[in-house]
Structure 1
């Protein structure tokens, strides 16, 4: 009888160990399956709008959404009391962006400076994610064209082809907890330049960021560095801009201070004639509004 009890005990212990091993194997398989089918979480709201100040961001409208932007710059603050410190003068840009898909958007704009039209295509090919399969950055490529239509009676040779500038940008950004950073290498091609010593092909690099103060307020800034000896016929300063950003229920409002009067790439990168040290500061604002043309469309 004693021997039977011993064999029965050994038998029961073996069964328990086998069940435990099967349960462990099953739980391991279940965990692997959950991990494999875990939904990727994309990071959103790296920036509140399509522009840090003048510089484009990695943000774009979602499929079917329309993004409307007003960019306004007064004259230079050092223009004196007679011009009300620049408030008597103004430069304006109106822009529209449309989301073809969540990753692909197009935009058009018109600036009063030189009566210039601009258009571009932006494609987001990398998106920052959270989770186990983490992607650290969001990256876009932007291709644009600009053409100014200001009439110069003394320069009849300036047809449309001579007035055109092409832009290519690679935008890479990362969102942290309270701030976001972006770096933007830029290539510009001018069909016509002022002198033979000026380069038709221009390379520059910009960096910008956003620091979140509250849920609705941020400080944004950007700096665009133009390497020397590319433009020699005029004095060009590197563009430095700051903005106080306020979100007001569907609108994003920015109070802007910049040494650049122009608001598109060919102007603020290669035509910034103002210097912060000399008081050539242009005060202004940006106002943006996102319209949900189709259901659930929003800024991506």
Structure 2
């Protein structure tokens, strides 16, 4: 019962924060509910900080994870003369135009909960095995107690283009990065590799990356002047924390991947 009261308190706070907003309700919900992972979730689902109620509901229909649900349930609903889910969402969007922000806030909170739950099921950051947890704790301990050797390192990242939005799009256009900007790139990656080589010479890249076509992946090679032992880190969260303490990071190379050849040595994020 105490835990249920905690949940009720959290949801009550979220509702109070968003009930008077006309735009950016879903964005604010996620920022409030889970601040530590909010940026990754917002980037993954392309949630706008100024999205309307309609925009926020459309996130469900545009999210790839929702399509199998629509494909399975909509035909059943049609046969049984029930309103299909996709039709319900569309009707909700139309109906939302007559609702006040307070009336619609509760619906968007439910959408936020669904997206957060789906994200954690998909990427499972807290569902690691005990051995993985021990490795992560060991990584944290080594980060805090052992200084990194002052040797240069190249950090190669694979980032889906559909994650590169907002400030992240500006970051990849830069050469010299702040530590938090480099950590943001690490957080958005799906594969990463630390190496002392120029790894970009081993893979085929399309240098016309500026349009960032959805469905493609961007290769980014960072140069870390004093990266040293970063090469030993194989968990993304540990790497991101370590990179956030590094100065002088620059983007050496970037381009769209033509294929997946050459990625067999990468760590999966």
> Normalised by the shorter chain, which TM-score bucket?
under 0.3
Structure number, greater radius of gyration: 1
Identify, as 1 or 2, the structure richer in strand. Answer: 1
Identify, as 1 or 2, the structure richer in helix. Answer: 2
Q: Give the TM-score, by structure 2 length.
A: 0.23
